[in-house]
Amino acid sequence: MKLEEPTGSGTSAKFVNFRDWQPNNEIDSPRKSMKRKRESIYPRNGAECNSRKIERQPLPIDTVRSKIKDIVKRTSTAIFIGETGSGKSTQIPQICLELNLKEESDQGDDNGLVTEKVRPKSGIIGVTQPRKIAARSLADRVSKEIGCELGELVGYKFRFEDRVGPMTKLAYLTDGILLREALHDQLLSRYSIVIVDEVHERSVNTDVLLYILRLAQQARQESGRSPLKVFLMSATMQSERFSDYFNQAQVFYIKGRSHQVELHCANEVSINDDDYLYNAITTVLKLHQTEPLESGILVFLTGQDEIDVAGRRINQEMSTGKYEFRIKTFLLYSGASSMHQAAVFLPVPPKHRKVIFATNIAETSITIPGIRIVIDSGKVKEKSFSPHNRVDCLKVVNISKAQAIQRAGRAGRDAPGRCYRLYSKKDYDMMEEIQKPEILRTNLSCVLLDLVEMGLRKLPRLALINMPEQQNWDAALEELQTLGAIRMKDNGKLLITEDGKNLVHFPVEPSHAKILVAASKLNCLEEALTVVAFLSSETVFVTSNNDFQLNDSNATSSSSLMQNDNSTHFDAAEGDLVRMIKLYRAFKTQMRNNKNNLNGWCATNGLHCRRLANIHRVRTQLHELCKDRGLKLGSCSADFTPLRKAVCAGLFMNACIFDMSTNSFRLERKTNTIQVKIHPSSCLARRKLSAFVFTDLVMTSDVFARDVTLIDPEWLNEFKKSPKKDKRCARKPDSAN
């Protein structure tokens, strides 16, 4: 049954008075008992395998299982629309696996079973997910339902974690991982089926992957190779565009919802209210005093800083002794370690309530046990790119109706639940139906570089499911040409250069990869590795404990918070990126000399220990990639001039020069000049500089540059020269045109 939105006007009471909440509407989706019918055709290892297998509850998808089998067998492409809780993300991949193993039954025993000692001939089934937590949790769930160890028949893979073994036939992957594979094998030869889950989210990786899959299907068919089946899965009804893109692919709707979800709206709180963080925290505390203890709460916020603040404030409240039962908080965001992400699925201690503060990574795919209540801020962080100013801007914006429906559905995965929306029914009605595809609002330099490496030669031949405007492609082309990564011939043909082949090797932005390549030539690659690892992470500075006052009804979100004062002794006269190096060196020293007190050292210095540990992992990976490319691993030690020059080589398009006539810094662009200030969090905020480069801009009433590095203005003359023609450009067949 379709998730219906509230139609009543709701209460007129002010949200912050919890007793005034009233239901607006009940999502009615009665579910009849469904008898489970499963075929036992999986590889067996005697009683051990059977003992590992778990039984699951019936799912709505079970009633149409035979129909899905028929579609998978007879079609090369199909689109499955399944409501939250229908079971599509776990069951459709299993259906594909069953069919694949049946086809290989001639390799098995007398019963038609494939033994674990036989490597099947058919390809792998790849299931892409937009987030690693979904890839891991779904693989874990499916392996338990099948009764195999994770990493055997079923595995998962994303950055830093690879549980795909030689016998794996069903692999859950992040979409970025599959795209990296496509860089080396555009036909995706080892896959027989690729399932793109949560396709409605329309991330950049998803849109590019759909293009690659369409080309791979066609190329494999024309060359007589084994066919590639492509199945798309979505939780929203927006299917027409996907069907058209894949030659009128059949759309199959899986109806039914697992459990009822009541919707509550706060009708006197505007969606533009800055107090959504305060409102979320106070709602948690009030629900904690009235709801059954077994009712877990999932709270949607916009980012890591807000989540840290919320978790800290709840813990402070619990320490006051005012509450009979305690709250166990969990913080869920993309930068959290795998261990901390996995912890949200574990039970809490007795006399505790589970409360999870999460970004939109908890919107789809995953089922967190015990969640009965969702609190939806109605907000999300969204990155947008202005091709005219070449400015990336990260803003807190309103979610779409589709996202609101997804969030509400989290409360009804394993029992009836409720969703408290921190916005009114009127605000919901004004939301966009779906979120704007990311590829239409992002810097396309990474996308273009990858596509040229895969064989794209002329932009007019490119046919993405939604094509960005030409000005966005022009901005990306200009950046890559200026970085020396690609060049364009007189006939418009795009060629990748030797430098470009180095840049595409790294899973970072081309400008950041350029820093590494330049640093290798300037004998400071060890320091540059640290810088780029930091730029790939969120800030390591813990916000101050005074950043949010629970009793202040005018408190705002933490997006503008400063770093902790205890970390200022890492400040460097050369800029913020050198500060990162000093900080990392101190962290490494602490790891060597007193690892047991690492958390205490980070707390004393106002640093996120988990983020620093993640940066260490990113740096290690980049270090190995540099060795693979044969880059020289040198160090500049205490003289950071070579490093600053390497940073300038990658970020020179983000150079600001001090203008004495206006007493401000100016950022030159083709069509205009932008006046820029140094962000107050920078260690150079109060310094008088002649020139600097930055990583990104923050736009409020003024334009602020973040992650600032001091440079010599003369260096810009060297790097701003037009790239020379490179006769060594790597040539490839026009396989992605």
Distance CA 54, CA 443 (A): 45
Q: Look at residue 730 and tell me whether its pLDDT is greater than 60.
A: no
Q: What is the pLDDT of residue 414?
A: 81
pLDDT tens digits, residue range 556-577?
333 333 455 555 778 999 999 9
Q: What is the pLDDT of residue 223?
A: 93
3-state SS, one letter per residue, for 219-255? HHHHCCCCCCEEEEEECCCCCHHHHHHCCCCEEEEEC
pLDDT tens digits, residue range 630-679?
999 999 999 999 999 999 999 999 999 999 888 889 997 766 788 999 99
> Rounded to the nearest 10 degrees, what angle do helices 445-453 and 175-184 cross at?
40
The percentage of residues in the chain with a pLDDT greater than 70, rounded to a whole number, is: 83
Of 220, 195, 194, 191, nearest to 124 (Cα)? Answer: 191
What does the block give as tokens for 541? 């500075």
Lowest mean pLDDT among 162-171, 430-439, 557-566, 672-681: 557-566
C-alpha dihedral sign at 619, 624, 629, 631: positive
Most confident stretch, 35-49, 308-322, 335-349, 355-369: 308-322
pLDDT tens digits, residue range 110-140?
444 444 444 445 799 999 999 998 999 999 9
Q: What is the pLDDT of residue 620?
A: 96
Q: What is the pLDDT of residue 556?
A: 31
Pick the CATH number of 18-26+258-438 from 3.30.70.100, 3.40.50.300, 1.10.4160.10, 3.40.50.10490: 3.40.50.300
Lowest mean pLDDT among 47-61, 248-262, 359-373, 479-493: 47-61
Distance CA 266, CA 273 (A): 12
Cβ 93 vs Cβ 196: under 8 Å: no
Q: Look at residue 196 and tell me whether its pLDDT is greater than 80.
A: yes
The percentage of residues in the chain with a pLDDT greater than 90, rounded to a whole number, is: 62
Beta bridge partners of 380: 397
Q: What is the pLDDT of residue 43?
A: 52
The SS3 of residue 126 is strand
pLDDT tens digits, residue range 326-385?
999 999 988 777 788 889 999 999 999 999 999 999 987 778 889 999 999 999 999 888
Pick the CATH number of 46-254 from 3.40.47.10, 3.40.50.300, 2.20.25.10, 3.30.200.20: 3.40.50.300
pLDDT tens digits, residue range 511-565?
999 999 999 999 999 999 999 999 998 888 876 443 333 333 333 333 333 455 5
Lowest mean pLDDT among 14-23, 161-170, 357-366: 14-23
Q: What is the pLDDT of residue 625?
A: 96
Task: Indicate if 46-254 has the same CATH topology as 18-26+258-438.
Answer: yes
Q: What is the pTM of this model?
A: 0.82
Q: Give me the chain's average pLDDT, please.
A: 84
Q: Look at residue 186 and tell me whether its pLDDT is greater than 90.
A: yes
* Per-domain residue ranges of the chain: 18-26+258-438, 46-254, 646-719
Q: What is the pLDDT of residue 689?
A: 92
Cβ 684 vs Cβ 665: under 8 Å: no
- For residues 278 and 36, which has the higher predicted lDDT (pLDDT)? 278
Lowest mean pLDDT among 91-100, 433-442, 496-505, 665-674: 665-674
